[in-house]
Amino acid sequence: MSITGKCAIITGSNSGIGLGVAEELAKLGANVVLNSFSDRPEDHALAEKIANEHKVRAVYVKADMSKGDECRELISKANDAMGSVDILVNNAGIQHVAPIDEFPAEKWDQIIAINLSSAFHTTAAALPLMRKQGWGRVVNIASAHGLTASPYKSAYVSAKHGIVGMTKTVALETAEEPITANAICPGYVLTPLVEAQIPDTMKQYNMDRDTVIREVLLERQPSKKFATVEQLGGTVAFLCSSAAEQITGTTISVDGGWTAL
């Protein structure tokens, strides 16, 4: 099954993992819908760049993933722009770190809304359109924290465990249809956000770059190497291929062995 001409919506995709996934799917001929909560010229320029480089259609649609109605409108707008909704990659996410008894309630609500509830709303809106097309792929970007936990990340861990559970439910509800639902669980991925943290961490621990990466950032990642956005994009592409037609309701870890410990 080729994904040439399929419409792929990737939430939270104006940078990092989401943008990497969009690039990889566009390379394979998919039309892509980029998304974030901002509406800057550079957001739309990203879509234009992808369209020109890969000879596909690409648009940017602003939608705040903390708001259910905007999540559903994103799917509707994508369908209007592209004529179908075939691939949905739920990637949008935020993080906040604090002990649970000090965790701000508003941060909990925001993380659950963006990291978990948004995927409920987009999936609920996308499935009828996939059924109409007779084919669909839902890929949720969970986390190693969807399978294990760390202290001080109660909301993030809860949301990511929830995404894994929702993925299984969607897979069972679509099991007899040509639609699959799977979750990818990355460990640490080298994104611009992570890259920006390295200099401050070097100062904090009085370590060089390589030591900070190995001993601090990748302490729990046995490979001692970051996953890349290209690898995440390639994993999404595999789940959209004919080889993955019978893969549904599962998690694929891209974590350098983290969850094998």
Catalytic residue among 60, 152, 156, 205, which?
156
130 touches 136 (CB < 8 A): yes
User: Would you call 205 a catalytic residue per the annotation?
Assistant: no
| CA-based torsion, 202, 204, 205, 206: positive or negative | positive
Nearest to 187 by CA among 256, 255, 260: 255
Q: How many CA atoms lie within 13 A of 127 on its CB side?
A: 15
Q: How far apart are CA 22 and CA 34, in angstroms?
A: 7
**DSSP-assigned letter for residue 66:** T
Q: Which amino acid is at 152?
A: Y
Q: How far apart are CA 156 and CA 162, in angstroms?
A: 10
Q: How far apart are CA 75 and CA 68, in angstroms?
A: 11
Q: How far apart are CA 135 and CA 180, in angstroms?
A: 9
| CA-based torsion, 10, 15, 21, 24: positive or negative | positive
Q: How far apart are CA 220 and CA 223, in angstroms?
A: 9
Q: Which residues are catalytic?
A: 156
